Amino acid sequence: MPGNEFPLFTISPLLSVILVIILSLSLFFEQKAENRKKDFFVLLFVFIWFALLLFITGLSADRLSDPDNTIQRISLSAGFWFSLFSLYILLFCKRHYLNAHPLIKALFSGGTLFFLLLLLLNKTFDSLSLMKEYTNNSERFVKELINHISIAFTSVGWGIAIGMPLAIWAWKSRRVEKAVLPFVKLVQTIPSLSMFGLLIPPLSFLAANVLFFKRLGISGIGDTPAIVALSLYALLPIVQNTYTGLKQVDEGVVDAARGMGMTPLQRFLSVEFLIALPSILTGIRTAMVQIIGNTTMAALIGAGGLGIFIFQGLGQGAMDLILLGAVPIIILALIADSGMNILQTRIRKLLLFDRNREVRSI
């Protein structure tokens, strides 16, 4: 849809000047600060920038909006999204290298989220079309968000339930290894859209002819093909990481475990599996992030999820509807990623990994 462009400085010159001053100040301090404190300063400025950017955006939208004009829409331009994106990269890179107490680190990332929430509750963004799309769709948004999460997590759950035993089997048997690893790699190369299409005939057949599957509510479209396809995609990272993790267990360690009189099951549970666990978790983490993104396609076969907004937005050329779907997906993926990161760090610590070395994991 055509529209008018409003650069920031035409809306509120004062605020733009403040932004520029802050930017110069941050550059100045970045140059001046001692090396040790550099990261901290950059983070601080990123935080201020982030807060100001959001605040100014909301304020400018308010100024531009005309309460009498109901079909007026105020969208954010590419400049805003680029700024947000670069700030995000800066925040996470610097946070990662910041040599500070974990609490301070958490404060920086938690603080940004908290501030965003505060502005949302304060209705600062309500004049923006993105928020208007949300208000118009709020009920459906919550439903599809939950739907998206449940499809993604169910698929990853199946991926773990099938992938891990498969990987263990491949690790135990040469012949299975030769079949399983190429298979999961092959699956990964099938485009998701054609995968959904490929699954419709067999699933419809099963639903129509086997009572058991019918009772389970399985059908050619809807949740079932989505979850089947996504579980298949989840297999590669999970199978590969579980398999490599187990393969990497030192031969001497296995020999010692055998020689000490552990039964094969004891050996697997208390030695091999635990040593492979960090690698397995990496696989699950990759699968999670990937599947949360891939679940978008589930909307195409009637399974719902946030993809609905994206495809609807694409169909209507409504950029903000697309964002209503895309932004939460990104945030979901980030939350899943950092949640898994915290879990991994804890487990690595419990398993005494990274002792005696300072290893930072992203």
Partner 1 sequence: MIEFKEISKQYNHNTAVDDVSFKIPSHQFCVLIGPSGCGKTTTLRTVNKLVIPSGGKVLIDDRDIDDFPLTELRRKIGYVIQTIGLFPHMTVEKNISVVPRLLKWSREKIRRRVSEMLELVGLNPDQYSKKSASELSGGEAQRVGVARALAGDPPILLMDEPFGAVDPINREVLQESFMRIQRELKKTIVFVTHDMDEALKMADIVAVMQQGRLIQFDTPLNILSQPKNAFVKSFFGNDRVLKRLAMMNALDYIIDKESGSALSYTVEKEETFSLKDALTRLLEEQTETIRVKDVRSGKTGLITLEMIKQFAVDDDSG
Q: Considering the complex, state which of residue 84 and residue 347 has its C-beta at the smaller distance from partner 1.
A: 347
**Smallest separation, CB 11 to partner 1 (Å):** 58
Residue 12's H or E segment, with its range, is none
Summarize as ranges the residues that interact with partner 1 (CB under 8 A).
250-263, 266, 271, 274-275, 351-353, 355-357
Q: Considering the complex, state which of residue 120 and residue 262 has its C-beta at the smaller distance from partner 1.
A: 262
Question: 312-342 burial by CB neighbour count: b if 16+ within 10 A, else e?
Answer: bbeeeebbbbbbbbbebbeebbbebbeebee
What is the C-alpha separation between 267 and 253, in angstroms, rounded? 10
Q: Considering the complex, state which of residue 68 and residue 251 has its C-beta at the smaller distance from partner 1.
A: 251
Q: Considering the complex, state which of residue 118 and residue 260 has its C-beta at the smaller distance from partner 1.
A: 260
**Smallest separation, CB 270 to partner 1 (Å):** 8
Q: Considering the complex, state which of residue 101 and residue 355 has its C-beta at the smaller distance from partner 1.
A: 355
CB–CB of 246/167 below 8 Å? yes
Contacts 24+ apart (CB under 8 A), 113-118: 115/50, 115/51, 115/54, 116/54
Q: Considering the complex, state which of residue 106 and residue 351 has its C-beta at the smaller distance from partner 1.
A: 351
Q: Considering the complex, state which of residue 14 and residue 352 has its C-beta at the smaller distance from partner 1.
A: 352
Rounded to the nearest 5°, which phi and psi values hold at 302?
75, 20
Question: Which CA distances in Å does 69 have to 73, 128, 242?
Answer: 9, 13, 58
What is the C-alpha separation between 268 and 299, in angstroms, rounded? 41
Residue 263 three-state SS: coil
What is the C-alpha separation between 244 and 275, in angstroms, rounded? 11
**Smallest separation, CB 295 to partner 1 (Å):** 34
14: number of Cβ within 10 Å? 8
**Smallest separation, CB 83 to partner 1 (Å):** 44
**Smallest separation, CB 354 to partner 1 (Å):** 9
Q: Considering the complex, state which of residue 63 and residue 258 has its C-beta at the smaller distance from partner 1.
A: 258
**Smallest separation, CB 340 to partner 1 (Å):** 19
Rounded to the nearest 5°, which phi and psi values hold at 114?
-60, -45
CB–CB of 238/180 below 8 Å? no
Closest alpha carbon to 329 in 357, 359, 297, 351: 297
**Smallest separation, CB 261 to partner 1 (Å):** 3
Q: Considering the complex, state which of residue 174 and residue 215 has its C-beta at the smaller distance from partner 1.
A: 174
Q: CA 246, 292, 140 angle in degrees (round to 5)? A: 155
CB–CB of 265/228 below 8 Å? no
**Smallest separation, CB 343 to partner 1 (Å):** 16
**Smallest separation, CB 169 to partner 1 (Å):** 23
